[in-house]
Amino acid sequence: MASPTRRTTPPFTQERDRLLTQLNEQSIALRRSPEQYLEIADVLDELAQQISSIKIENNQSRCFSIKCNALTSTLLCHSELLKCHPSRSVEIAASIDLMQLQLGRLTMKVDDDDFAQKMDALSNRMETSWTPTDEMDVKEIRLKEHLHKIWRELNLSVPGCECGQCQDQDGESLDSLKVS
C-alpha cells in the first residue's frame, strides 16, 4: 500500500517565504551596517519567536517541529552572540545565510515542494565547499569550521521520519556503515 502524499500547506510556504525574506534582509543589513547590531539582534529574536510558533495542521512529519526548534535555538544563540560580540558580525551573517537555507528546505516531504528541492540542491553544493584548502588563512578555516558545525546541528535526521530529507540522510548513514 502506498503511503499517503504529505504536502506542505500553502500558508506554511507563504510564511516560510516571508521568514526567508526577513532573514535575508538581516544578513544583508549586518554586512552593510554592522553598527546596527542591536537592532538586528532584536529582529533575530522576533524571527526565532515566529519560527517557534509555526504550527502545521496534520503535521505528519516527525522532524518538522524538531527542525523548527533547532532553527529557533540557533537564531537565539546567534542573536546573543551578536549582542555580546558585535565584532563577529561577518561570521554571524554567514550563519544567518545557513539558517535561511535550512528554513528553505523545511517542508513535509521534499518532493512536494519545488523551492525546497532547489534549496536541497544548493545545500548539497554548499556542503562540498567546507573542505579547507592550502590557500585559506586561519580565519577562513575557523569560519568554515563554525559554519559546518552549525549546519550539522541544523541538518539533523530524525529516525523514523518519512520526509525526503530524513530519508536521504538515513540512506547516507546506512551507506556509510556498509563494509566493503
Residue 82's closest CA among 70, 68, 94, 65?
94
pTM of the model: 0.77
Asked if 166 contacts 63 with a C-beta cutoff of 8 angstroms, the reply is yes
Measured between alpha carbons, how far is 172 from 124 in angstroms, rounded to an integer?
Answer: 13
Measured between alpha carbons, how far is 27 from 30 in angstroms, rounded to an integer?
Answer: 5
pLDDT band at 11 (very low <50, low <70, confident <90, very high): confident
What is the distance of C-alpha 99 from the center of its chain? 3
Residue 12's closest CA among 62, 64, 74?
64
Tens-place pLDDT, residues 25-83: 999 999 999 999 999 999 999 999 999 988 766 656 778 888 899 999 999 999 999 99
Contacts of 100 (CB under 8 A, 6+ apart): 20, 23, 24, 27
For the ranges 6-10, 94-98, 102-106, the one whose mean pLDDT is highest: 94-98
Measured between alpha carbons, how far is 154 from 72 in angstroms, rounded to an integer?
Answer: 10
- Element (H or E) spanning 179, and its range? none
For 167, other C-beta atoms within 10 Å of its C-beta total 14
Domains of the chain, residue spans? 10-177
